[in-house]
Structure 1
Amino acid sequence: MNIVVCVKYVPDATADRQFESDNTVDRVGVDGLLSELDEYAVEQALQIKEKAGDDTEVTALCIGPEKAVDAVRKALQMGADKGIHVIDDAIAGSDAIATSLVLAKAIEKVGPADLIMCGMASTDAGMSVVPAMLAERLGLPQVTFASVVETQGDQVRAKRDGDTATEVIGGTMPLVLSVTDQTGEARYPSF
């Protein structure tokens, strides 16, 4: 099984922020880190790998400035097998539409992915739209806002907590899956 986890490098909320002339956050001059919700996605991917066996591979995929390599490094330190960092000045400060396009093209180039995982939202923008846009661009089904994830073979089953009810939903891989912070604590980096 090939799992691709989309990870985002976000500005550290505790650091001083600088802004560009167009009022976007200066992502090059500010300290950043791996988006917390993406840590949960990496953790879930690693748990799926541990249950599935040795032929499962987890790849962390990130787009962003040079410093964004730190997000990929953290995913690798957590246990991801490979990391891919897309750097292009043309996509600096891109919106969710452009981000989903670049992620989709990178995933297509990497090769077939059985499961594409994301945090439900980034901790900087918090829009929760990139996973759905990514699924649309790749022509794949999506399971979003999963708080519990189970896989068996090519089947994915997830629990999603709503305001008034809990849903159990599922699908057949390949698919896009976004997870919440309710999936369990992310492991500490190993190196």
Structure 2
Amino acid sequence: MTTAGLVLAAGAGRRYGMPKALVRRSGQLLVERSVAVLRQARCSPIVVVLGAAAGEIRARADLDGVIAVDNSLWETGMGSSLRAGLAALADTDATATVVLLVDMPGVTAAAVRRVAADAGRANLVVAGYGQKRAGHPVLLGRDHWAGVGLLAVGDVGARAYLQANRAAVRVVPCADVADDRDLDVVPDA
């Protein structure tokens, strides 16, 4: 049994002013950081879904050893990127995948390991932050990939599927090891 990693990095980052995959923090691009987190958590294979600025990301980022997929429909929202990533994993032996969004630099390998600890084909697991909020990373067992793909439209991603199957979703506390706040705007200088 293997647990894959899936980085959604296709957005243009309109509110941010540039594709967030190309944002440099602590000496590395956010797309490289996401890949490193999944590697540290021993996810394999790792798929990165690109869209806006795909050529520039390929030229500037170290994506050695990952499966880089271009999502030609990236402008339609995160749902198309999730579908593209799951399709790229279809021919692998992965029993589950951990999904990361490229614009969440506070998500750690420790959080990925917690969410993936009970990975299996039938599992749905999300990171929990505080008493009421579930967030990233998210583990999708392979048995759910087709259903997730059907409901992943626009900017919804897996949310609609997880809500429709909430009784099967396990929440794993991660607030002590991660922060899943996203980068929406450039911080003030």
- The TM-score, its normalising length taken from structure 1, stands at 0.43
Whichever of the two has the greater Rg, that structure is: 1
- The TM-score, its normalising length taken from structure 2, stands at 0.44
